[in-house]
Structure 1
Amino acid sequence: MKAVVISRFGGPDGLEVVELPAPAPAPGQVQIAPEAIGVGGVDAVLRSGMLGRGAIREGQVLGSEVAGRVTALGTGVDPAWLGRRVWAFTGLSGGYAERAVATLADTLPLPTGLTCADAVTLGGSGVVAHFALARAGLTPGESVLIRGAAGSIGIAAVQLAAGGGAGVVAVTTSASERGARLRELGATHVLDRSGAGDPAAPTSFNVVIDVVSGPGLPLFIDRLRPNGRYLAVGVVGGHPPADFGSRLLAGFRKSLTFATFSTDTVPIPDVRAVRTAHFHAAARGDLRTVVHAVLPLDQAVLAHEEMAAGRVFGRVVLTP
């Protein structure tokens, strides 16, 4: 089968298309023929080696989110799964390929009306957005700033926060180019990555949801209101400065809270329930997915170059 591996850590050019044997499903697993493969920020972080070389090794297939039909079953799996359209999480690797395997706990059937491209745009991102907003304790009437709002997590967070009655300020690379689209999704104000670009936007917030992190993180800690909550849910912009905690201490009298968040800490049944609800909401048109582009699997390098250049609005999807 055709697959995309990390031949060396670093930039997008470290990805390579190779031929590999198709993986066989182990007991309790299914094999899937992907019709759509999600390209996400976590893939870029893993490819760069930012999370350490133990998270994924050179030579491994990149990719964690696929949607397609079940083509083979491991022992102990109900035969009714064969041929089903499903979304699946493959772990930190294994998705960028013509065949992938996943455990049943990480596999969900897709509702009629939801495309495979929509599924990989929403499946991983929607639950991150949902549980991050819940962990931050965002309530109706509060103000939330979403940093990295043009990515699939940010787009889901904008919609969910606005739907919950919060005032949403979206931060993206270009407020002038992307502002109208983010406002259509529920943002009340749109700022550029420096936090400027809309004089009418509030200057402080109850909650910050940050997909980016990186060197700009302390600037947004400064914008928290008293009892403000800051959740870092990604590091697509790199690690924050080592001394960023000094900004929290500088605002000591405001009783600020800073936390990291991963859905790995959420019970699997809760994740499955929310993801299922999101899939049905998207199939009804109540939750929007934004597919930036659909590219052939062998153009994975281009997909990562587009992400690195900040040109992606939504999610890039690969097709074998």
Structure 2
Amino acid sequence: MNPVNPENPENPENPENVETTVKAIVIQAYGGPEGLAVVDLPAPAPAAGQVLIAVEAVGVGGVDILLRSGALAAYGYKEGLVPGSEVAGTVTAVGDGVDTSWIGRRVWAFTGTGGGYVEEAVARVEDISPLPADLSAVDAVTLGSSGVVAHYGLAHAHFAPGETVLVRGAAGSIGIMTVQLAARGGAAAVAVTTSSADRGERLRKLGATHVLDRSGKGGQDAPTGYDVVIDIVAGDGMPSFFDRLDPNGRMVTVGAVAGQPPADFGMKLMASFQKSLSFAVFSAASVSEADRGAVRSEQFAAAARGELTSVVHELLPLDQAVPAHRKMDAGEVFGRIVLTP
């Protein structure tokens, strides 16, 4: 947002009334990555309770793929939307009711379901977290949302030190953080499912103790059952992972990158009635902004100290959102792709 020109108070330093614009990515047509387009949009201004951020990094997440494909159209998301839910950068202006001390501070921000693939973004002040001096904007968008989901996913499963954990779909940013947090939390074993030996070795360096194939099989000396399964995949294969739970085991699904599970998946639980298994889903939307912010700040500080690792698959310019989405669709990403305006 431009500063106010005292000689022309009705128009900020723009005496010719020329509308300023920013580069953004919009979903012009649902479907494949080719439906994304680079456009010029009017420069945003913060409304009451919001901040304006000069964006330095944008995290490319699974929800962006769902939005682009049209999978969330039934929930009111329309073509023309700017995807992207988390950004990091510097606050350049604030709306009414927001402390002006935020101006000039580096922050991570949740922009809602959309609004992040842009050079300047707005966010509610409740949805921003300050960044430690030693944490980059790229690291922030790699850890910011995934770390919170991983933390509360494990908490939702009532994970305790000494228990065994299986992370299904561990190569994405949520899975990578779940592996690290389970290992830090004292898990007796942290098994992962992934698509290649190379990815398995990279996950071992982050805390995994056993590497399984996508079906949950294999892995020398791997446990035959687990206390906790954290599932980021869902899809048709989800019910088979109930078989990987020990008696009183708990599965929590925190993502659905493979789509919805079969409608009758609960029958698998009923067939294991005597094992007293539990199943739940978790969304970070069920946690207050204050609690999410407290966890995020703690994780940012841990990352700045080198205790948590952010894994960046690739840095791409903002206008390369199409190839970024193609890589996501192809399952090529280990960690997170980050766009840089």
Query: Normalised by the shorter chain, which TM-score bucket?
Result: over 0.9
1:231 aligned to 252, 256, 260, which one?
252
CA contact (8 A) 1:145 1:208 kept: yes
C-alpha RMSD of matched pairs (Å):
1.1
Once the two structures are superposed, the pairs formed by residues 90-101 of structure 1 within 5 Å of their partners are: 90-101=111-122
Q: For each residue in 1:25-79, what CA deviation from the matched residue of structure 2 results, as whole angstroms up to 9, or x when unmatched?
A: 1101001111000001121122222234325211010000000011221112111
- TM-score normalised to structure 2 length: 0.91
Counterpart position of 1:5: 26
SS at match of 2:75: coil
CA contact (8 A) 2:210 2:220 kept: no
Question: Which protein shows a greater Rg?
Answer: 2
Counterpart position of 1:169: 191
Count of aligned positions: 319
Distance 2:70 2:251 in 1: 25
Counterpart position of 1:111: 132
SS at match of 1:272: helix
Pair 1:15 & 2:36 matched: yes
Q: For each residue in 1:274-319, what CA deviation from the matched residue of structure 2 results, as whole angstroms up to 9, or x when unmatched?
A: 1000001001101111011000111111111111111111100001
Q: For each residue in 1:96-119, what CA deviation from the matched residue of structure 2 results, as whole angstroms up to 9, or x when unmatched?
A: 001110011001111011000000
Counterpart position of 1:277: 298
Counterpart position of 2:159: 138
Q: For each residue in 1:206-250, what CA deviation from the matched residue of structure 2 results, as whole angstroms up to 9, or x when unmatched?
A: 111011111111111221111111111011111111111111111
CA contact (8 A) 2:254 2:281 kept: yes
Pair 1:313 & 2:337 matched: no
Distance 1:131 1:306 in 2: 28
CA contact (8 A) 2:57 2:339 kept: yes
Distance 2:270 2:314 in 1: 43
SS at match of 2:192: strand
Q: Following TM superposition, by how much is the alpha carbon of 1:151 offset from its aligned partner in structure 2, in angstroms?
A: 0.7
Higher relative contact order (CA 8 A, sep 6+): 1
SS at match of 1:94: coil
Distance 2:137 2:105 in 1: 12
2:176 aligned to 155, 180, 183, which one?
155
Pair 1:254 & 2:278 matched: no
Counterpart position of 2:141: 120
Q: For each residue in 1:145-197, what CA deviation from the matched residue of structure 2 results, as whole angstroms up to 9, or x when unmatched?
A: 101111111111000001111110011122x1211110110000011212234
SS at match of 1:270: helix
Once the two structures are superposed, the pairs formed by residues 56-67 of structure 1 within 5 Å of their partners are: 56-67=77-88
Q: For each residue in 1:242-272, what CA deviation from the matched residue of structure 2 results, as whole angstroms up to 9, or x when unmatched?
A: 1111111111111111111001111221111
What percentage of residue pairs aligned between the two structures are identical?
64
Pair 1:85 & 2:106 matched: yes
SS at match of 1:236: coil
SS at match of 1:20: strand
CA contact (8 A) 1:45 1:235 kept: no
* 1:251/1:55 CA distance change after superposition, 3 Å: farther
CA contact (8 A) 1:205 1:225 kept: yes
Counterpart position of 1:43: 64
- TM-score normalised to structure 1 length: 0.97
